A and B are shown apart, each in its own frame.
Chain A
């Protein structure tokens, strides 16, 4: 194949940008949705109501045991039967990622909640706070702070995983790069470009996480 020809990078930029926007949107929506649903799932898993805990546990274990590509494919094929009408690839991707990542955020939040010393619960109860008040004012804020780095690390993983939407033909950044690579028959150059972009973004994010960790860590 000989020498590389990086001139293909220039015309690819608009598509890369569009793909990146989709990737970011998907990441953000799935992250916020995933954290909210994940937290609820975590509460369900820790709740004393056994059936509820079981169901949530089964959901989480199932999601954690299947490759994401297959989950994406399944949702894409199955959602039309639930909703009665087909949804676009992008909507399907957003729903899938939220549902899938919720399982992972659930595990993180669960260990976050468990990392709060039992004495804190006792102290809150002893002050007369109710279950829900204790959860909202005392436990969750500490759990989130303790787990913030892990939550963000998971989000970086999520950001990388969005590349798997190729399975249902949604156009994320990697896909855009891929198509340009094929059009100009410069696939290798485009792979190198996407590797660079992913690395830059993920690396800056992980640096940011480290900074944040110092900032918000609870002084003990």
Chain B
């Protein structure tokens, strides 16, 4: 990868378009977000190592369908989205040390009075096609012997729209995304994130597998950010201050898991988290 970057004089970042506030497009349709900033720091490190101050940075929008093949086939060098680090994916790609931890929970309309997953028996519940939440919900249904009527949006915004238009009474998804969707909604005060945590997922920047030199550089850069306290600052900027496009504040304090990870960085997959 490093050689390719040197030869082409450019590095390509994979970005997501609506993963608030990790990676999304602002009102000028430019990619911004917490992970984008982290990636930019990594790019700085690459520039320093290759002595290529003029390195061009290209952006490629990716979706949850194509991000892994695109990293695999070399279209994208660093995926700066909201990819969960799990065992299955580790067969295909490598991950930088975990830089964010999300909890899968649900968003509801406050007025509905729903506080727990068990209250959803027989009710329509929204989630996004092709995300891990779908499986989590099914597993939960089985475990508890209850029955949701799942409805699916093709992306997070559509799924949220289902909640907004009463097609669903709850939306099960990563809590940071839910928070992002709620603050940018028409009436943020109407919604709440409630209920038990279905899963804890480490989210990390994704890169090609079997490229130890590049991984070493990325790891070092990320760990550097953590050690220097830079990452805390970035976190505060994106999760605890007003952010574009609406200049709303997510007010999403750092979780204990992430604090622990910053102290002891690793790239362990999700499975090892939920075992504990």
Contact = CB atoms under 8 A, between A and B. Distances in A.
Interface of A: 1, 5, 11, 15, 73, 76-77, 80-81, 85-89, 166-171, 176, 178-185, 187-188
B79 interface: no
A60 to B, nearest CB: 26
Contacts of A81: 73
A167 B74 contact: no
A171 B61 contact: yes
B26 A183 contact: yes
A87 B29 CA distance: 22
Contacts of A80: 73-75
Given A179-B25, A185-B186, A77 B161 contact: no
Contact of B66 (A5, A73, A171, A185): A73
B29 A88 contact: no
B25 A183 contact: yes
Contacts of B147: none
B165 A77 contact: no
Interface string B149-168: 00000000110010011000
Interface string B1-24: 000000010001000011000000
B70 interface: yes
B27 A77 contact: no
Contacts, number: 73
Nearest to B183: A185
30 contacts: A1-B165, A73-B65, A76-B66, A76-B70, A80-B73, A86-B73, A86-B76, A88-B58, A89-B60, A167-B66, A168-B66, A169-B62, A171-B29, A171-B61, A178-B157, A179-B29, A181-B157, A182-B17, A182-B18, A182-B157, A183-B27, A183-B184, A184-B184, A184-B245, A184-B246, A185-B157, A185-B181, A185-B184, A187-B157, A187-B158
Contacts of A178: 157
Contacts of A89: 60-61
A15 B29 contact: yes
The size class of the interface chain B forms with chain A is 20 to 34
Contacts of A169: 17, 60-63, 66
B69 interface: yes
B214 to A, nearest CB: 16
Nearest to B161: A187
B185 interface: yes
Contact of B74 (A5, A86, A187): A86
Contacts of B70: 76-77
Given A86-B74, A169-B63, A185-B185, 4 more contacts: A76-B70, A169-B17, A179-B29, A183-B26
Interface in B25-43: 25-27, 29
A169 to B, nearest CB: 3
Nearest to B76: A86
Contacts of A73: 65-66
Contacts of A188: 161
Contacts of B63: 166-167, 169
The 8 closest A-B pairs by CB, nearest first: A169-B61, A86-B75, A182-B157, A80-B73, A183-B245, A185-B184, A1-B165, A77-B69
Contact of A179 (B17, B73, B76, B161): B17
Nearest to A179: B25
Given A182-B157, A183-B26, A184-B245, A85 B74 contact: yes
A29 B204 CA distance: 39
Contacts of B62: 169
Nearest to B181: A185
Nearest to B244: A183
A74 to B, nearest CB: 10
Contacts of B69: 77
A181 B26 CA distance: 12
From B18, B61, B63, B185, residue with most partner A Cβ within 10 Å: B61
